[in-house]
Amino acid sequence: MDSVKRDSSFLDGVNRSVDLAVEILHIEEGLAEHIKACNATYQVRFPVRMRGTYRTFTGWRSVHSEHRLPVKGGIRYAPNVDQEEVEALAALMTYKCAIADIPFGGAKGGLRIDPKEFSEPELELITRRFASELAKAGFISPSRNVPAPDLGTGPREMAWIAQEYTNLNPYDLHANACVTGKPVTQRGIPGRLEATGRGVQYGIQEFFRYDEDRRAAGLDGGLEGKRLVVQGLGNVGYHAARFLMHEDGIKVTAVIERDGAIVDERGIDVDDLHHYKEEHGCVRGYPSGHFEAHGARVLEADCDILLPAALESQITTRNAPGIRARLVAEAANGPTTYEADQILKQRGIAVLPDAYLNSGGVAVSYLEWIKNLSHIHFGAMERRLEEIRGHELVRLVEAAVGRDLPESLTRKIMTGADEIDRVRSGLQDTMSVAYARIRERRLVTDEIDDLRTAAYVVALEKIVRFYRETGGY
């Protein structure tokens, strides 16, 4: 029997993880079914005139849970996206927001398209038409349903969506809050593009901060010098790898892409490889390291940390027995099937689950949404006060010690925090608090022996508490 028949689908895997948490928390069957069910999925087919003819496109927007409003979740552009994938991603968003204590419900969108087949003007036409269809049906709104970037989309597409919604709702004061992940120049927020990758870095840092967790995974010491294998050098994988490399001293020993993998035990310059990939569209031919045509095999390379940052179902029953990483850090959504996860657990390989580790994007999206509603950037009224206080502190210290402090130190003390500093601080706090709650739940509950189950228990506790305190719908 091959792995396709043995491995659960992405949606089934999410639901089976929820079932484990339901059993541990003794949630009544009716409420559990309501929590798991997708509230609504809107499918739309629309034509766009281009190249002298009409092309018809199919897209979805799925709302998993409206226990918190607005619902939040990205829109992905991919040639193989379908309704089940969108619903699985929407469900994961519900639990992700609950784990990170972000007051959103879960949603997701998808458009079946290969963005590489279209020019920028064509993509703008398609995106604006898709946004119009969703907005007219009530599936884009600053108060009810707020999209964000995902696979195949980015700040450019979010700016188009925001503008299209504004055109349809010219008197909505908060129209720009209808979508997050916009360019900073279009009322976005600094740090949003890097947010998911930065959150991955912070999550891994949290894991290494606890000696007990590191030792249980067979890892000694800190992050300095640890070997990292990255699958997917897109936005998430690239930012996570470069932050871990430059700021934590991790050595990237392999990068897996669609056309193969670059392997170099001496360490790979992720910035240089990313630049090469952007210029050539692939990693084949990169002048450093060894090229492995069968990139999927490199998932089983000997390393300390494996960072799957591509698509779902990359670690399956077929390759899980051969995974040699000590820690699998799920930077992508659903990269490990339910059955493969059980194999990794039996083998003593620690897994930082996607429902926690991938939440950096939505955490910073929340800050952008708040910024758009308040119409003022973070720190606008405090930065100068911080600088004045810093100046006074330097003056007092210099008077006390009888000499001037080094210029580099005084500059650091006297400079107020920029908006991106505040964003990163908020994200780091979110990831730190969430991990502490997850590991605490794992430690105090006998039935829990892994971080994924602990994360889902944390999420369901919050969701169930909401329904019980409010009486549900």
SS3 330: coil
* Fold adopted by 361-470: Rossmann fold (3.40.50)
Q: What is the Cα–Cα distance from 37 to 51, expressed in whole angstroms? A: 41
* Fold adopted by 195-357: Rossmann fold (3.40.50)
Architecture of the domain delimited by 38-186: 3-Layer(aba) Sandwich (3.40)
Amino acid sitting at position 96: K
Res 238: pLDDT? 97
Query: pTM of the full predicted structure?
Result: 0.92
Longest dimension (CA), the chain: 79
Res 1: pLDDT? 39
Q: What is the Cα–Cα distance from 61 to 73, expressed in whole angstroms? A: 9
- Considering the candidates 36, 108, 226, 251, report the single residue annotated as catalytic: 108
SS3 327: strand
- At 171, give phi and psi (nearest 5°): -105, 10
Q: In what order do the strands lie in the sheet with 305-308?
A: 290-292, 260-263, 251-257, 227-231, 305-308, 327-329, 350-352
Question: DSSP label at 75?
Answer: E
Helices (H) and strands (E) in the chain, counts: 17, 13
Walking along the chain (473 residues) 10 residues at a time, the average pLDDT comes out as 67 95 94 94 96 95 95 97 96 97 97 96 97 96 96 96 96 96 95 95 97 94 96 96 97 96 96 96 94 95 97 95 97 96 96 97 96 88 76 80 82 79 94 97 93 97 92 60
Q: What is the Cα–Cα distance from 74 to 360, expressed in whole angstroms? A: 13
Amino acid sitting at position 78: A
SS3 122: helix
| Residue 135 in tokens | 């907005």
Residue that is written with structure tokens 């210099």 in the block: 398
Q: What is the Cα–Cα distance from 192 to 196, expressed in whole angstroms? A: 8
Res 6: pLDDT? 80
- The domain locations on the chain are 38-186, 195-357, 361-470
Closest CA to 304 of 207, 395, 381: 207
Report residue 21 CA to chain centroid gap: 22
Do the domains 38-186 and 361-470 sit in the same CATH topology, yes or no? yes
Decide if 108 is catalytic.
yes
